[in-house]
Amino acid sequence: MAPLPRRRSRSSRRARTPLRRALRLLRWPLAVLALAVVVSGVVLGVQALLVARDLQRADDRLGALQAAASQPEQLSRLPGLLAEAQGLTARAADRTDGPLWDAWRRAPLLGDTVTTTAGTAREVDRLTTTVLPPVLAGVQALPGLRDAGGRVDLALLAAQAPVLRTALDEARATRGRLEALPEPAVREVVDGRQELVDRLRAFETQLAGLSAAADAGPGLLGAAGPRRYLLLVQNNAEARASGGIVGAYGVVAVADGRLSLEDVGPGNELLPTPGPAVDLGPEYANRYARLGALQDWRELTATPDFPSAAQVALALWRETRGEQLDGVLSVDPVALSDVLAATGPQPVADGRTVSAEDAVALLLVDAYARYPDQERRDAVLTSTAESAFRAVAAGAGAPLALAERLGHAAATGHLKLYSTSPAEQEALRRTSLAGALPADRGPYLSVVTQDAGASKLSVYLDRTVTVTGGLSAELQDYGDGRGPQRQHVAEVAVTLTSTAPASGLPDYVVLREDLPGGAAPVRGRMNHAVSVYLGRGGQLDGATRDGVPLPMSSETEQGMAVFTTAVELDPGQSTTLLLRVRQPAPEDGLVYAQQPLVRDDALVVRPD
């Protein structure tokens, strides 16, 4: 017979009954609460998707707005496109406002993501309502900035200055608030915020240029009296730090917003002086005097700091021509291509026309094979610059298109301007138009290659720069009186590749004046001085070339660290310089400055 089941005592049943009753009572409330959390999470997720959809649609409207802003016939669409974008961003911001989003902001794990999503939506809405309207109002006024004869309305230009300054301040504040938001856990939110931050940085650069133009433009264009500027046309086929050697020149006269060009000629008409034409201090002399950069027009662009090069150019002009000018304007074939994109094709000395599409190839490559005679080559470069400038002065090109292309040339370093007026130069220094080394402290990197043999092979040099590293948790005392401080530690790989053909190039292109008489180099072998610029206090912990230890000279320029070596490359050859560097990092983020060459570097930044 099977044993009977054991009975629990009455006291045991009584002891468990209250707990079971409590669990029964709580079961449904707990289930409801769990369901509410799930449902609220689902609702939040749906709202987040709707926010993303609204912001994407707003981004589409802003893209259409940007395209319309560069076309005079499309300006009437700007208010409607802006209103559509504002409606979408306002709706996205409203969706993130309320108790549900407030509750999830305090949730573990996802709270930072919710906070950053809502904050991003608010900042985009603020951008469309406070920053863009005054900027677009200025864009709509731009067609009236220049009359049919090319004269600039200086009063209208000056009126844009306070509006643009306010918009620039608002854009910077918006980016600052975005960067201060917590780090989200969802990769899509991380990427979306970073994309917006990057766009704002680019937008700030454009606004800074426009703001400086409005601030300094009236004075630069002769509002207070006539001005005369030295025009330098740089030739990037023989690279220098600020672009290339001086291949042509002219004098630009301005008065009350009207421009004219006079005294145009090839670079070989510019005579050197017996000794240094100006004293820019012992640091500058130590680095550049041995090159003749203080007395020779061909070498004055050896510095990446255009204000310094401009001061030397003005001193040389004063010594050789007996005239004190008011500033220096520099362009190169890349900038001329930008101008021609707005004005349309223009005539050059040999009876042909040059367009935006073929200007760089004609002036830096084809001309050497097509015109064996140097006088004819010089005439083509000089006449291209002259034709492009006279077209602008005569009113050619839609103002919006011209402003956009000139802005592009300035932002990429191919158009630079220096003024002897301290106030105007200070305004210019806030923009890429100045072409100046940075005045602030912070992690900085620039790779500069300069032809050391007077050849015209720089146009065939490809450069890839890979930066691996970032902010270090380890503090270091750099001996600058600031004590231990954060630092940026990285490996910088500079890969140089010669794409020059092994045969077929004219003798003048493969010239090697740096070799002793009678030496016969490999045809097409290029020789470049390679300098790596770091921020103030930057240090080199070691360098190799293709794995072999590499000695590099160490100098400073305006307090910035500079490390230099010589590199020869045969046609088709590649080599990689690897530098281990560290520098003080009072600010987040590495600033990379692109040397104004025909082709930009392939830049890769990899965090540790």
pTM (2 decimals)?
Answer: 0.82
- The per-residue pLDDT for 21 is 52
Ordered strands of the 602-606 beta sheet: 548-549, 539-545, 574-584, 484-498, 461-477, 602-606
- The per-residue pLDDT for 250 is 96
- The per-residue pLDDT for 99 is 82
Q: What is the CA radius of gyration of the chain?
A: 31
Distance CA 505, CA 483 (A): 55
- Tokens representing 221 are 């264009």
User: Tell me, what amino acid is at 380?
Assistant: V
- The per-residue pLDDT for 185 is 75
pLDDT tens digits for 203-258? 787 777 777 778 888 888 898 899 999 999 999 999 999 999 999 999 999 999 99
Cβ atoms of 237 and 456 within 8 Å: the answer is yes
Q: Cβ atoms within 10 A of the Cβ of 490, count? A: 26
- The per-residue pLDDT for 516 is 76
Q: DSSP E strands: which ranges in 394-443?
A: 416-419
The DSSP-derived string for 67-97 is HHHT-GGGGGGHHHHHHHHHHHHHHHHHHT-
Residue-range domain boundaries for the chain: 42-220, 227-270+330-426, 438-606
Q: What is the CATH number of domain 438-606?
A: 2.60.40
- Among 231, 230, 226, which Cα is nearest to 254's? 226
- Tokens representing 552 are 């590099």
Low-confidence ranges of the chain (pLDDT < 70): 1-48, 70, 518-520, 588
